[in-house]
Amino acid sequence: MANTESERVHCLIIGSGPAGYTAAVYAARANMKPVLYQGIQPGGQLTITTEVENYPGYPDGVQGPEMMVDFEKQAARMGADIRYGLATKVDFSQQPFKVWIDEEKLIEADAVIIATGASAKWLGLESEQRLNGYGVSACAVCDGFFFRGKEVAIVGAGDTAAEEALYLSKLCTTVHMLIRRGEMRASKVMQERVQKAANIKIYWNSEADEVVGENKVEALRIRNNKTNDTQTIPVSGFFVAIGHEPNSAIFKEWIDMDEAGYIKTIPGSSKTNIEGVFAAGDVQDKIYRQAVTAAGSGCMAALDAERYLSAKGIV
Ligand code: NDP
Measured in Å, residue 158 CA sits from the centre of ligand 1 at: 3
pLDDT digits (tens, 9 = 90+) for 274-295: 999 999 999 999 888 889 999 9
Q: How far is CA 158 from CA 32, 155, 164, 240, in A?
A: 41, 10, 10, 11
Which residue puts its alpha carbon closest to atom 36 of ligand 1? Answer: 159
**Which residue minimizes the CA distance to atom 4 of ligand 1?**
158
Q: 177 has which bridge partners? A: 154, 202
For position 52, what pLDDT does the model report? 79
pLDDT in the model for residue 47: 84
70, 81, 142, 159: which one is catalytic? 142
pTM: 0.79
Give the chain's residues under pLDDT 50.
none
- Span 214-224, pLDDT tens digits: 999 999 999 99
The predicted structure's pLDDT at residue 289: 81
Catalytic residue check, 172: no
- Cα 65 to Cα 5, 6, 99, 176: the distances in Å are 32, 32, 28, 29
Stretch (H or E) spanning 71: helix 64-77
Clarify whether 142 is annotated catalytic: yes
Closest alpha carbon to 208 in 175, 173, 177, 187: 177
What is the CA(186)–ligand 1 centre distance, in A? 7
| Active-site annotation holds for 143 | yes
pLDDT at 50: 67
Go through the domains of the chain in sequence order and give each one's CATH number.
5-119+244-311 (3.50.50.60), 122-240 (3.50.50.60)
AA identity, residue 221: R
In angstroms, the CA 182 to CA 226 distance is: 10
Contact in structure between 289 and 44 (CB atoms under 8 Å): no
